[in-house]
């Protein structure tokens, strides 16, 4: 996972947590839902980057075996 993508995903997660918390404190269910959606998006971003990392590791291992 690139550092930049990791930072973006983490920032999105923190933004979602803050928005969800603020929604809970104010009783704004729409804001709570938007915060949760941002957290889910951040989780998906992390998973996508992890898949990329694993694929790169597999390709590197195959390349090493061929060399």
Domain boundaries, the chain: 3-66
Q: Please tell me the predicted confidence (pLDDT) of residue 3.
A: 85
Q: For the chain, give the longest Cα–Cα distance.
A: 61
pLDDT less than 70: residues of the chain: 1
Question: Does the pTM of the predicted model rise above 0.85?
Answer: no
pLDDT of residue 2: 80
Return the pLDDT at 67: 84
């Amino acid at each position: 996972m690139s550092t930049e993508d990791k930072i973006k995903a983490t920032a999105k997660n923190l933004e979602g947590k803050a928005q969800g918390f603020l929604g809970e404190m104010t009783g704004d269910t729409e804001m709570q839902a938007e915060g949760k959606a941002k957290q889910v998006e951040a989780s998906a971003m992390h998973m996508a980057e992890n898949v990329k990392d694993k694929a790169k590791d597999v390709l590197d291992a195959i390349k090493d075996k061929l060399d």
